[in-house]
Structure 1
Amino acid sequence: MTTSVENLPVSGTESLPVPTAVPSSTLIQQHSPSSSQQQITPVQRKLQKILDLKLESDKDLIESLKYLSTFFNENSVRTRRSLRSTIEKRSLTLNDQFEECFRVVKEQLDDLNDTVTSMSSCCEDMTQRLKDVKAQTQELISKTTQIQNENQELSIKSKITERFIERFQLKPEELNALRATKDGYLHPDFFNVLKRVKAIHQDCKLLLRTNQQTIGLEIMEQMALHQESAFERLYRWVQSECRLLTNDVPDLSTLLSQAVEALKERQVLFKYVLDEYGLARRNAVVRGFIDALTRGGQGGTPRPIELSSHDPLRYVGDMVAWIHQVTASEKEYAEILLRKLSDWNELTKTIQILLGYITEGLC
């Protein structure tokens, strides 16, 4: 048994012929040129091959026939004869549609390619800019590093300079303290600043041992001028203070003793100060001696020494007693004035000279 064609359902009311089972011997006899011919022709062989196909199990063929039924609407001799051309046209139409779809895809891909190319160009441009910026940034970083190093070096130099100025220069307030001696006023920090000036002058000797000899000499000269100016002001202040020590009991302040000690570094000024002090105390002692001779003490006690002139022994004894008492008092005053001197032998000798000069006026 073989198959024959039956009508397959198609879209609409038409149907396509589909194979149905027919006797294969009948078909062979119909196509056979002669019933007596024993050899099978190629047509018979092809037909036999077609008839032997099991179409119900060939899914691809069935699907093809189903698809064919979507556009093969009329089952006639004319349409069957033009089936191939219809399929080819259909294929061509599908290919055109496919080509059209791919043309759109190609255009989109071309647009995408242009976009990608533009993006690539932008990326290359950005990359080049980044390289340029990196180069500029590298140069900027290099300059920044150089500036930072220079800044650090300048900072170190600034600190060294500040330390140098702090050690070898006077501050404005120190200069004011050194110069503020007007109207009998001596600044409390005067002697501290004077000691600092002396220390700076001594420290400059260290600079003379280095390659900073020029600045060392300049600072030494500057400090020497400050010292001389300070000693001159100090001498004038001590001189004015000593001229006020004409009372019976002088007011010897600690500041005056400190000033006399400072003037010890200038022997000439120190001698002038002692002479000024001795002259003031000599005048005070002479005046006191005259008062003791003629007026006596306050309220008449003790009596004037002159009242005992008729008795030479008592007269001389009273004068010697008064001189002894005054000498002891003046010695105490001199010790208070020179209490800052550290050399005891020099202190003793200086006091003896002062007492001799002071009491000399009594002769």
Structure 2
Amino acid sequence: MMTKDATDDSSFDPAVLKSEIDRLVSSQILGDENFTNGVNYLQSLVPESEIDRLVSSQILGDENFTNGVNYLQSLVPEVDDGKKETTFLRPFSEERMLREHLRQRQLAVFNDYVEQYKQMNEQVQGFVTKLESMNDICNNLSHRIQSNKERTQDLLRKTLILQTEKKTLQAKENYLNEFFEKYDLPDDDAKALHSSSDGTVSESFFKAFRKLQNVIENATQALKLNPENNSLVEIVACLTAKQEESYKVLYSSIERECRLLNVEFLELKPVLYLSFEALQNREDMFYSALNEYANARRGYIVHAFIDVMTKGSKNGAQPLQNREDMFYSALNEYANARRGYIVHAFIDVMTKGSKNGAQRPIEQLSADSLRYINDMLSWIHQSLEIEKELITTLLKSCKTETTSYLSKKCLSTIAEGLCQPLKLRIEQSLMREGNCVTLYRLSSLFLFYVKNLEILMDESVLVKSLQDLHELSSNMFFSTVSATVNRILSNMTVPDYDLLPVNAVNQTLLLLRDILESQNDGAFAVIDKKEMYKKIFSHVLDPLIQNIHLISSNLHSHLDVAVYMLNCLNAIKSVIILYQYTDTKLEMIKAQIDANEDVLVSEQASQLLTNTGLIEIYQKCLSHQVTQGSLSKIHGMETEKILFGIQQFNSFLEKPEGFQCHQCGKITSARSRESVQKRTIENVIAAYSVIYEKLTNPSNGYPTEMGLKNVEDVKTALEKISS
């Protein structure tokens, strides 16, 4: 059967053989006879070498082989264990059944695959349908997007055109806005330039007016650059007309405000100085407005009795500074009005005092010239400072370059009214004043106020009046000083026995000290003290020293003259040494002191040498010449006479008594006394040195042992005496 089955196969299938061999190998049949026969049978079908290879291969360890066998085993029909197999192999019918079973299994798998493929195909076809639908939708969307894109591009093109036109229109609008802002006045400002129903103007009027001036200035400048621009010509004409109307409104407002002014003001309403500032470019209207203001104020000020520093209004006014003719006329009217007021106030403070009673009338102080005049000048200075503040406030918005000059000029006009009453009272007070110190302080006081009234012009009448008063008081001072000094010195007498300065000298020095002490006041800071001291000394010290010399000449002894002169000169020196700019005079006095000390020194040294018998020896030693031969051969220079003189001088050194003049004890200055004594000893030592040199010279023929002390011993002894 086996052979037949094998022969029935048209071809040999190695795969089938391999699967069968695997089954056989896995079975426990190696010791079975049937297996052996089967192997022999197989050897006839398969080459021996192939069989050996299969048998010798270790297929039991092959995982793939094992998995294949396990798979086939599940397909092989179950064998009944009770049925005994007569053959070693299953029949080939079973093999065919197995193959059939495998084919069926494969067919079932294929059918299942086909079913699954059909399902997948259906799904793919459904997906394709959806894709086609989506493609249609996308194509539709693409067409719509393309259509929208074309429409959008058209819109963008139109938008770009509109934006370009918008920018052009905006540029034109900006140009027009800038043009009208620069060369036209807004409606609100144009309305603000009209006055209200009551004729007043508000703060908005001045803002609009300043803007109108700026616009006119801009338009005028542009018209200069482009004179053929008709629009600018029309604009300038229109704006100028508006400006003229504004000036008229402003002038009417100033007239109204000036008529409403009261007397008690130190500050003006803001509307006034703003109006004046606005009108300053129109000189005629400016001066007319100031004239209106001055007339209005003058009617009140002339009859006003107001305290000088307590009343006032709110703010200062700014004049119409650009209209010079109106401006100066208005300021002149203002100054005249204020001058009348300040004169009236000056008369009141002189006769009535302050309104609140805190200050008495200045006229009550007329007995005290210094305080009387100082209070008047102080009140005037303070009043002018207030007037300056008022004018500064009035002109605070005007041009700075003219304000200072106008303020000084206006203040000078105001102060001019005070000159006559002030000068009259001061001259009367000066005529009554006989104290030279007071006159000196008054002259310095006038000069002080001349320097401090810098708020006035240099050619101001008040400043010139004070300068005249300074010159008058200075002349009166020096005249009074000369008269006083002459009167004092006319009573000068000869000094007493003590040789002290007489009373006239002390009075004159006291007067000089009072005059110099008065310069410690602050008012004297502006005075040229050096020049003033020179004049004072020429009027006081020079006559004093001359009279001292004259009186001293009446003394009997020249030593008395020297001592008295020393005492007087030291007294003068002690006074003037305390002050500045006295160096020249101090040098002159010191020279005179030294001259008088020389007299005393010479007299004392001569007296000492005379008393010791050395005067004749000194004179001959001093006049001796080498050509005369030996000094001992000269008459009167014999050795015996020299020894006698030296003995007397040594005795004096041992017991120095009576070598000083009694007049030296009357010297009041300790420094002068010490100086006289010291210089006397120096002269004696100098004379002794001459004698010592001659006597110790061998050529003069004197013995070496004469008891002559050396110069150093004599100097030491005399210094002990002086100490």
TM-score interval, smaller chain: 0.3 to 0.5
TM-score by length of 2: 0.28
TM-score by length of 1: 0.47
Structure having the larger proportion of residues in strand: 1
Which one scores higher on RCO, CA 8 angstroms, separation ≥ 6? 1
